[in-house]
Amino acid sequence: MPLRRLFAATSVAFLAVLAISPAKNVLRPYRAIQRRYFALAASRAKSLKEARGFARRKVAIQQLWLRDFDDRVDRCSTCHLGTAEASMAGAPEPFRLHPKTAHTPGDFDRFGCTSCHGGQGLATEREDAHGTAAEAGPPMTPLPLAEAGCGRCHFAESVADAPMLSRGRALLEKEGCYACHTVRGHESFRSQAPPLSTESVKTGGAWLKRWLRNPRAVDGNATMPDFQLADKEIDALSNYLFSVAPPRELAPRISLAESEPAGDAAHGKKIFSEARCISCHTVEGKGNGSAPELSKVASAATRGWIHAFLRDPQAFNPRTRMPRYHFSDGESRDVVAYIESEFRDFDAPADMLAPVHVNLTLAEAGQRIFRTAGCVSCHDPKTGERFGPDLNGIGDKKATSLDFGRRRELARTLPAWLAAKVDSPRSFAAGLKMPSFELGPEDTRAVVTALLSLAMEPPPEKYRVAAPSAVAPLPGGAVGRLFDRYRCLSCHRVGDRGEDVSTAPLTFEGSRVKRDWLVDYLVVPYSLRPILEERMPVFRMPREEAAQLADALETFFLDPQVPEDPFAGRPASDADAGEGQRLYVTLGCRACHILGSSGGYYGPPLTETPKRLKAGWIDSWLKGPKRWRSDARCPNYGLTDTDALRLTAYLESLPPAAPSKGTTP
């Protein structure tokens, strides 16, 4: 009897255990979610047939099989059912239509969801799939940082439709992160920070100490971050820097410049503004800000140093972006006289430029700090050496492997850790070396986005999108030396090289402007776009050099798709030009362009078009202004070939400007 009872009890228990498996499935939350979705979709459907279709659908796991990505399976669409359903625009989560992007909805089947968003594709419960459960795998990238996903395949610095990622990558470059951290594709990065070999004859102990205390407090444009040095370290470093003897080829230049008579400050002022120094520098905050603020520079450096530097900045710092102007001795003297008279810190102590009397013990200690604090990484970069940890794969770090140190209050996630590291790197533990960049929340977020895009493993070969390489080889020889001397690439892009300060990349300059105009322009540049702070400096370039440069641009920097003669041998008639004029008015070109005495300030003035622009280029531009710059604002009017030619004919037929050309602002 008791045996029978025991048998009955175990049978019931066995059945109960058997029932668990189907019960577990029936009770999964996704079933209820799918039923809710079908009801919602049916109610939003455009037709009765569609609605019935939804009502008939069966509850089932949905999945995408990603053959190219290690045969991964994404089941996100089990709950996110409306991602490709147009009627689900604006529906509540998890049913919302996925915003249209370059890859959605077209590439759902190839990429799935996790390739961009991260998370656990195989899981079918919310916390597991999103990776928020304690024991789940790596979590999803938070939506505000979602552009990190774009960066896992797109390796270019600037990625279209991913402004946050592009900004983050630009910041990593600008802040000099690559000087200390290894990141694939940036191994050849070198900081533009100057070698510190002439400090002893450049500045004084008081100024140097201020600078080392916090460079960005001295100059808002400073690229050097705050190393939070202790007073003792600052003292040692100052002693070390003053113990370094200036190189033999620079010392006499500085002392010679020091001994020269003072120039004419009023004339210097004129040259200073012509030279457009504020295309890079600022004066009391006005200017581009990619080079030092100048309003107190005479209290930061000696007259001789400033003068010798101005004459040949590249001898002082081979990595500098500063061009070598063609000032005569008298002219540079005048500019320095102006700087000496105006750009002073009138509150500075009198001994600002007094040298440090070097204590050798301290200097030795300073030399050690110079190495151990990482100063060398920027100021004396050696190939292959990187001071900080390798950042490749940082975007795939597991949160459990991160050292949160003192920051116990932080959420235990990679994005939170990265944000805190970027924002206040020293707050994790004592003795950490990364300096503080004071980026602010928006920039920090952009940098974290860029960091999260650095994956452990690159995507499959065919999904990698490298930087577009329209590599135009730079000219060598004499022209190459001119490019180098005037540092054209500090502002202009050539192919994928150079910086994008100027609105005019030089890659196809020869197809764009006429040679003779270019020679005149290089000798005495004027402002094509008066609204821009950054304008072409007057280098005082000799005419022969200008001709040499213009010839090279005319010969080699060509766009093969721009025709030499768009009229194909049949010159435009007056009637065509007349039609073109009518088009100019009806299209509203004057909203942005000045022609004659009126027009907008946005595009370049067109009065001088026949002298400046080539007909072939105008015609090509009108048919597709975005061909040369994706950020061109000039609208594409969808002109027919005939109309584009007529407008070209009109612009090329404009009468030469009246001699009062000097009024161009």
Partner 1 sequence: MRRPAIALAVILAVAACRRPAASRRASASVAAEPSYELRMGKSVFQHYCQTCHGESGAGDGFNAFNLDPKPRDLSDPAFQKSKRDADLEDAVRRGGNGVGLSPLMPPWGHTLSDQQVAEVVLYLRGLRR
User: Smaller CB distance to partner 1: residue 102 or 432?
Assistant: 102
The structure tokens listed for 339 are: 């700087």
SS3 state of residue 375: helix
6 phi and psi angles, rounded to 5 deg:
-60, -40
User: Smaller CB distance to partner 1: residue 16 or 466?
Assistant: 16
Look-up of token digits 């015609």 = 619
Residues 150, 148: Cα–Cα separation, whole Å:
5
Cβ atoms of 533 and 288 closer than 8 Å? yes
Q: Could you tell me the smallest distance in angstroms from the CB atom of residue 181 to partner 1? A: 27
Q: Could you tell me the smallest distance in angstroms from the CB atom of residue 128 to partner 1? A: 8
User: Smaller CB distance to partner 1: residue 144 or 480?
Assistant: 144
Strand 598-599 relative to strand 64-66, pairing:
unpaired
66 phi and psi angles, rounded to 5 deg:
-100, 90
User: Smaller CB distance to partner 1: residue 132 or 469?
Assistant: 132
**b (16+ CB within 10 A) / e for 363-386:** bebbbebbeebbbbbbbebeeeeb
Q: Could you tell me the smallest distance in angstroms from the CB atom of residue 149 to partner 1? A: 12
Q: Could you tell me the smallest distance in angstroms from the CB atom of residue 357 to partner 1? A: 54
Look-up of token digits 């390489």 = 469
User: Smaller CB distance to partner 1: residue 48 or 134?
Assistant: 134
Q: Could you tell me the smallest distance in angstroms from the CB atom of residue 588 to partner 1? A: 4
The structure tokens listed for 349 are: 């102590």
Residues 549, 585: Cα–Cα separation, whole Å:
37
Q: Could you tell me the smallest distance in angstroms from the CB atom of residue 361 to partner 1? A: 52
Q: Could you tell me the smallest distance in angstroms from the CB atom of residue 444 to partner 1? A: 15
Q: Could you tell me the smallest distance in angstroms from the CB atom of residue 401 to partner 1? A: 20
How many CA atoms within 13 Å lie on the side-chain side of 219?
25
Q: Could you tell me the smallest distance in angstroms from the CB atom of residue 126 to partner 1? A: 9
Q: Is 316 exposed, middle or buried (0-12, 13-18, 19+ CB in 10 A)?
A: buried
Cβ atoms of 276 and 538 closer than 8 Å? yes
User: Smaller CB distance to partner 1: residue 20 or 430?
Assistant: 20
CA dihedral 99, 103, 108, 110 (to 10 degrees): -170
SS3 state of residue 562: coil
User: Smaller CB distance to partner 1: residue 17 or 430?
Assistant: 17
User: Smaller CB distance to partner 1: residue 249 or 631?
Assistant: 631
Residue type, 212: L
User: Smaller CB distance to partner 1: residue 48 or 143?
Assistant: 143
User: What residues make contact with partner 1 under the rule CB under 8 A?
Assistant: 12-13, 16-17, 19-20, 23-24, 27, 99-101, 125, 127, 130, 132-134, 142-144, 146, 161, 163, 411, 531, 585-588, 590-592, 598-602, 626, 631, 633, 635-638
Residues 24, 436: Cα–Cα separation, whole Å:
52
